[in-house]
Structure 1
Amino acid sequence: MLGLTTIGVFHTAIGLAALASGVIALAQDGQISPRRRAGRIYLVATLVTALTGFGIFQHGGFGPPHVLSVLTLVALAVGTVAAMSSAFGRASPYVQVVSYSITFLFHLIPGVTETSTRLPPGAPLVASAEAPELQAVYALLFVLLAIGLTLQIRRLRASARR
């Protein structure tokens, strides 16, 4: 199926489940929170997606997608420390929001890349992961992340003042 291995199919399915639960968490709470069911599902599915990504070598050896998996694991760890302790002091809620939100971007980058280079079958949208069109999409995703983080941080600040 579209050149995916068994682990690739599982990785893709769990990644899509993570994205769906992330969207639900963001829509419900304006953030990804381990205190809510959708947030917990997102975090576990994101962890599994990052770990299974290490078993995929479609484009050769260890490469940029694997680096993204490492960054995802680091962001999950930092966000979880921030969510479950006061290690970052008063900044903990902000560290949590930034860390978990950036993992959402880390899902979208390979998702957009793989989808754009594989679909539609036989005539993909772009010829390679280095296509200029993808660079523009990545820039847009980063801008959307910045906007989303700004809104989340403003919301946190407003609730801290109450």
Structure 2
Amino acid sequence: MPEMIPLGWFHTILGVGAVVSGFYTVLKYKVISLEQRSGKLYVLLTLIVAGTSLGIYNQGGFGIAHILGVMTLAALLCGVVMEKTKLFGSASKYFQALGYTSTLLFHMIPAITDFLRRLPIGDPFIDTLEDPMLRQFHLAFLLIFVIGLVAQARWLSKSST
């Protein structure tokens, strides 16, 4: 694994802040929204982290991490547009939840991948992106995402009645 460049450190530190503020916001408020201070912090940090991910080329070119960065920016934009414009009327809150919550999943995929490929230093947990351990983490995060999204949808439907 290549050494981390200063942009990588900046990206990683802000990424940890984004993940912490995102999960805090979901646990406390059930959904991420720009109406909450922690929601605003999450959106801002996620915007910076996704943007900086596009400038990190330690794997030889535009790759899956860059695609996730673009997907994160698109999902973030979707969440903001749905929250601010209510483009789809009462259904907008569900698309807002989908957009913002998707960004949490998109944070976790490269986070666990990088963690397992770097630590412990000198003898990382995995050597390849095809490692079964990594796939199990990705599947677990996907399952948590789906369960969380269903829980958010139920909460949103109950809170609007």
Calculate the TM-score normalised by the size of structure 1. Answer: 0.96
Distance in 1 between residues matched to 2:63 and 2:103, nearest whole Å: 18
- Is 1:46 aligned to 2:46, yes or no? yes
Cα deviations by residue, 1:85-115 (Å, 9 ceiling, x for unpaired)? 1212211100000110010000000000000
After TM superposition, the structure 1 stretch with the greater mean CA deviation from structure 2, 63-72 or 26-35, is 26-35
Q: For residues 35-114 of structure 1, what are the structure 2 equivalents within 5 Å? A: 35-114=35-114
Match in the other structure for 2:127: 127
Instruction: Quote the sequence identity (%).
Output: 38
Structure 1 SS opposite 2:90: helix
Q: Per-residue deviation at 1:129?
A: 2.0
Q: Give the aligned CA root-mean-square deviation in angstroms.
A: 0.9
Distance in 1 between residues matched to 2:120 and 2:139, nearest whole Å: 23
Cα deviations by residue, 1:100-149 (Å, 9 ceiling, x for unpaired)? 00100000000000000000000101112221211111111100000000
Distance in 1 between residues matched to 2:132 and 2:55, nearest whole Å: 28
Distance in 2 between residues matched to 1:81 and 1:12, nearest whole Å: 27
Match in the other structure for 1:153: 153
Q: Per-residue deviation at 1:28?
A: 1.3
Q: State the AA in 1 paired with 2:137.
A: V
Cα deviations by residue, 1:39-88 (Å, 9 ceiling, x for unpaired)? 00000000000000011011110000000000001001111000001212
Distance in 2 between residues matched to 1:154 and 1:26, nearest whole Å: 14
Distance in 2 between residues matched to 1:24 and 1:87, nearest whole Å: 27
Distance in 2 between residues matched to 1:91 and 1:142, nearest whole Å: 23
Gaps of 5+ in 2: none
Give the paired residue count.
160
